[in-house]
Amino acid sequence: MTDRVKPRQNTLYVSSLEKGLRILEVFSEDKLELGLTEIARETGLDKSAAQRFVNTLHQLGYLDKNAETRRYRPSLKYLDMAYAYLWSDNLVQLAMPRLIELSRQLQQTINMARPIEQEIMYVVRIPGYRTSYGASVIGRRVPALTASSGRVILSRQDDATIHNCVNEWPLKRYTPWTTMDRGQILESIMVAREKGYCMSLREVLPDEINIAAPICTLDGTPVAAIHCSLPIIRWTMEQAEQEIVPHIVETARSISPPR
């Protein structure tokens, strides 16, 4: 939850739209299906408001209604937005064929992530053998400081920015091995800057090694990262470094978006 910074209430701001969108946004991993009262509670709207907005979204086809339980869930229409985004993101188009080729070559799960606010978001996911469900869904967010993709993107920023982010940005514990020590995270980022890639162990999933390399524009601005997950039972860090890293780094390097 961001602490409700009320966007200045000028006449160019339509707060009805904001409220409606709050309802679209309320559904998540642990809120798959909600009744009217729950929606009201979760969005901070009163019952009447929730009623009106939910009704509107239902009529427009954004929310499916279970006639028996009278609860609502996101409809297929949500995916129209994914399509619009993916089609408008040149980097995705540019990267896609190379990511497919890479996944075929390595026979491993390959992802592309982009920074957003203080997190990274998965934009492309090509599942390998035995990819967990959560790891195959686009739109997933992970705190930038926790994800190897996030760290390697940060590693291309200047010192001041890095220090600032490492101190300010949020962390989230995913496994018993998730690093919660900001000093260690800084260290990890500095190693990534040195080497040009970032490796991590059991940070997000308990049985995975992660390897990430940055995608930068010509002027060096980091705009995304390629990221590979390896099962810990079949790979050591050393093997991964020798056999996988060069391919990830090279593929990332070969993708150079304009601007």
Q: Give me the least distance between CB of 131 and a copy of itself, in Å please.
A: 6
Walk across the sheet containing 109-116 and list its strands.
141-143, 119-126, 109-116, 222-231, 208-216, 198-201
Sign of CA dihedral 213, 88, 157, 7: negative
Pick the binder of a copy of itself from 1, 11, 176, 220 (CB under 8 A).
11
- Three-state DSSP state, 124: strand
Q: Give me the least distance between CB of 20 and a copy of itself, in Å please.
A: 4
Select 77 or 253, whichever has its Cβ closest to a copy of itself. 77
For residue 188, the number of C-alpha atoms closer than 13 Å in the C-beta half-sphere is 28
Tell me the site size for DNA, rule CB under 7 A: 23
Is 53 a binding residue for a copy of itself by CB under 8 A? The answer is: yes
- Residue 203 gets which letter from DSSP? S
Pick the binder of DNA from 3, 29, 46, 238 (CB under 7 A).
46
The one of DNA, a copy of itself, none whose footprint includes residue 174, by CB under 5 to 8 A per kind, is: none
The one of a copy of itself, DNA, none whose footprint includes residue 25, by CB under 5 to 8 A per kind, is: a copy of itself
For residue 256, the number of C-alpha atoms closer than 13 Å in the C-beta half-sphere is 7
Pairing of strands 222-231, 109-116: antiparallel
Q: Give me the least distance between CB of 64 and DNA, in Å please.
A: 13
Is 75 a binding residue for a copy of itself by CB under 8 A? The answer is: yes
In the numeric block, which tokens belong to residue 106?
A: 């390595």
Is 71 a binding residue for DNA by CB under 7 A? The answer is: yes
Pick the binder of DNA from 1, 7, 11, 259 (CB under 7 A).
11
Select 49 or 154, whichever has its Cβ closest to DNA. 49
Instruction: Please write down the long-range contacts of 118-124, taking CB distance under 8 Å and 24 or more positions apart.
Output: 118/143, 118/144, 118/165, 118/168, 118/169, 118/170, 119/143, 119/144, 119/150, 120/144, 120/147, 120/149, 120/150, 120/153, 120/225, 123/86, 123/89, 123/92, 123/224, 124/92, 124/95, 124/96, 124/99
Binding mask 23-52 toward a copy of itself (x if CB under 8 A, else -) reads: -xx-xxx--xx-----------------xx
Q: Give me the least distance between CB of 37 and DNA, in Å please.
A: 3
Q: Give me the least distance between CB of 15 and DNA, in Å please.
A: 4
Is 183 a binding residue for a copy of itself by CB under 8 A? The answer is: no
DSSP string, 141-202: EEETTTSHHHHHHHTTS-HHHHHHHHHHS-----STT----HHHHHHHHHHHHHHSSEEEES
Is 129 a binding residue for a copy of itself by CB under 8 A? The answer is: yes
Q: Which residues bind DNA (CB under 7 A)?
A: 11-17, 19, 35-38, 46-49, 51-53, 68-71
Q: Which residues bind a copy of itself (CB under 8 A)?
A: 7, 11-21, 24-25, 27-29, 32-33, 51-53, 55-57, 59-60, 62, 73-88, 93, 96-97, 100-101, 104, 114, 116, 121, 123, 126-131, 133, 136-141
